[in-house]
Amino acid sequence: MAKLTFANYLTYLKREPRTKGWGALLVYDRFKTNMLLAQEHIERFDDSRWLKPISVRVETEGGSWTDVSDLTMDKPSLSFVNSSISSSAARLSMPMQGGKLKQLRRKTGSEQIELVGISRLDPLNAPAVRMNINLNQSNNGTITDQGRVTLDLSEGSGYTFEVSSWKDLNEKVGTAIQQSFAALPIEERVWELNTLKPVEGELNPTSFAVRTHSLANAGQSVASTDRAEQEEGAVVIGVAFNGAKGGDFPTRDQDMPYLLPEPAPNSGHAPYTMNVLLSNASWTQQVLVKWLRSVPGFTETVPTYVVENGFNVGVEFGSANVAFPADRDDFDGDNWVTWQAYDAFALDLSRSVLSFRLEDNNIVFSWHAKAVGTFSARFKYANAWVVAEDRKAEFTFTCTKKFVSELQTSGARKGSVIFKGDAVTSTVDIKQVDDTNWNVGPFQNYIRRDTAPKLLNQIVAKFDTFTAAVDAAGVSLDVLRLNGLLFRSEQAAEPESLQVPGDLSLLGTLAPKLTAFALDPLNAALSAGTSQTFQLTPRPSGTVTWTVDHLPGETGDKGTIVNGVYSAPASETITGTSKRVIVTAKVGDQLSRALVTVVPRSVSVFPFLLSGQFSSEAPAKPSRYVVTGGSLGAPLTWSMAPGAKGTLRTPGAEDSDLDIPVDQEVRIYVAPTRQQGAIGTIDYLMQLDTVKVSAGAQTETMDVVLPWMPTTAELKATAQPGNTLKLGLWGQSWGGGLVEVPPENTLWFLVKGEGTLAETGIYTPGAEGDYIIVAAVDKTSPALVWSYTILPMPYDQAYTELVEHVHAHSTQRKG
């Protein structure tokens, strides 16, 4: 299978450094990562605006313009959308909460700008701005001096905005929104992932890069056929510390094994979903140099690393001097030895060394020291008194203290690696370095039994001062702190296994308290006075405690929840366009949250006006348009109003050329072939189809305007005093310009509107909706001179300025 066994994983780590030139690799299960990011998004959600409302205008296609005004957006939510190290991708989604969208175009062969689509955006139907991030092409992320981990939303590789059936149009509107981000001051356009405050003297991340890695393809040329493995993957973050240059990543999944191994047999550990792999160079330099410089007399020492197979396996830093003063023992006259002595001497610094050395999961602090002493004595030998001099002994002293690496799995230092010291051990070896016989005289006992332990005690006393300083330095590694690059939760990980074969590997589970189960739906929307049932996946054992809470700072009726059924408050208690609450399910210390949006109305449509083109006869593909409905509290019922000629159906394979929004209820409106009514009626000129979308007792409509004939004139509107509009039909003159058809010669049609349209062409608004549709014909001309127009209501200065902007900036001219 694609996952390494625990033993094979350790073998892989022992061979050579494995962090690809990075200071650390942070490896997380992708599915659990997305779960935790979603939970953190909800946990820190409030009703404050992250960005001020923005407005964009963009020429989208063939003389068409899209105008989005007063667009308000939720805070972004981050997710990783695939598992491929060669084409890693992430996405930021920012759901729209409000705004208005208008689509305009220049009529073919005319200077007239016409309104062809209009929509209101709200929590029910609003599309999302999706910022796609190509992780392979993005620059390494950076962390500010204050530790802010931010993402600049003007630097996404692709923006989309679901406003149309046409992908190109959506991308152009998305690009315009991206450009509006770029125009903002940097403090307004960056989104803060987290703040990882720098700590003096510690490993402080300064840059990073992200990839995703496929389990099915990891470390093998033939992909796994296991369906679960094909869907599973990891998020891999390369981290550089303290201004160091970043590393790289393999170009193919198969060039690196999956770095979340199987737990060791009988360990009792759950499958690992987190691995902090700290490079050997990073952690040894952090720990060993701090220890070295805590040793008295070595605070400024430059270490010498011992390197084996690319690993720092130790550090050596010279030796401290120890001087042994001269000593003499005198005995009374009855003893066969009258005196014995040695001269003053000291350690041979050229042959003595202090070191820290890695051994398995531990670090051994050692002092290997050598010294040569000169001994003499007066003793009785063969009935004669003899003075023997220049007996030389080489002493090799060894002092060691083992520091056992220990993972803290609870308490304030949870996730830290500390180094717990054992007792000091010491030895002394004696080597004769002269050519005499030590058995003649007292030298064997005097040097080995009497002197060597005394000298060793001096060495141990000195070594004890070193180890006391090392202990006092309190050096540790806060490994889990690095999770703060991506996650904010204090419960982001549960550490379980520490391995130090070279690189340091901390394995564990990612936020088990927040990812054990998930609420479904995670983001719920419902109408006031209705209910929503939540499910838990997978179903946990134990009693579930349900709660519902306001967003921070909010008050009022928040609704109730009983046994997973949330009941929304009544509409009269909701101020504004919506109310949001957080539903929490808790089992023991495990929990999951969902964000709930309650709106006063239960159904919406998008768009609520579109201008279409009738279908050509078969076998040509019909004209099709994507329409969207939003439902709260009841299933949607779709239908066409009486007299409609188009039809509705659900999307099918034949609609793959359309850009169909995800996570929304969609229908395809299929325009009819040309089916004109009687000459002299509006039905001969155009068709107004109405799509009806119902949920419970509430119904919303969207209008589809279908001209049967090309327009041959222009219908102009001018605002008049008293909130009225003067309409005029203008046709081509023989001189090449436009001439107004006299109002008395004009036949007027109020296709949609609640006001009155006089024969003089003066329109007096009534209790209007968002727009009116007016058509006009020159009833005196033998040729068909006609036009229609869609006018937003109220017809104000803002719309006039929009039309003037389109006139001035449109790349399509009359032709």
753: left (phi over 0), alpha (psi -120 to 50) or beta: left
pLDDT at 225: 45
Q: How far apart are CA 212 and CA 223, in angstroms?
A: 16
pLDDT at 227: 47
546-578 pLDDT per residue, tens? 999 998 888 889 999 999 999 999 888 887 777
Exposed, middle or buried by CB within 10 Å (0-12, 13-18, 19+), for 244? middle
Q: How far apart are CA 40 and CA 193, in angstroms?
A: 10
Provide the residue type at 807 as one letter. Answer: H
99-155 pLDDT per residue, tens? 788 888 876 666 778 888 887 777 766 566 777 777 776 655 667 777 777 666 666
Instruction: Please give the mean pLDDT across all residues of the chain.
Output: 87
pLDDT at 768: 84
Exposed, middle or buried by CB within 10 Å (0-12, 13-18, 19+), for 532? buried
Q: Does CATH place domain 516-599 in 3.40.50.720?
A: no
Q: What tokens does 51 get? A: 């960005």
CA atoms within 13 A on the CB side of 772: 22
pLDDT at 767: 87
C-alpha dist (Å) from residue 180 to 36, 51, 187? 30, 11, 14
Residue 184 has what DSSP assignment? S
Task: Read off the pTM.
Answer: 0.76
Give residue limits of the domains in the chain.
Answer: 46-139+155-186, 283-478, 516-599, 711-815
643-688 pLDDT per residue, tens? 999 999 999 999 988 888 776 789 999 999 999 999 999 999 999 9
> Which residues in the chain land under pLDDT 50?
1, 165-166, 222-230, 815
Using only C-alpha atoms, the chain has a radius of gyration, in whole angstroms, of 40
Q: Are 514 and 591 in contact (CB under 8 A)?
A: yes
Q: Are 593 and 584 in contact (CB under 8 A)?
A: yes
pLDDT at 787: 95
DSSP-derived 3-state class of residue 516: coil
Q: How far apart are CA 168 and CA 147, in angstroms?
A: 38
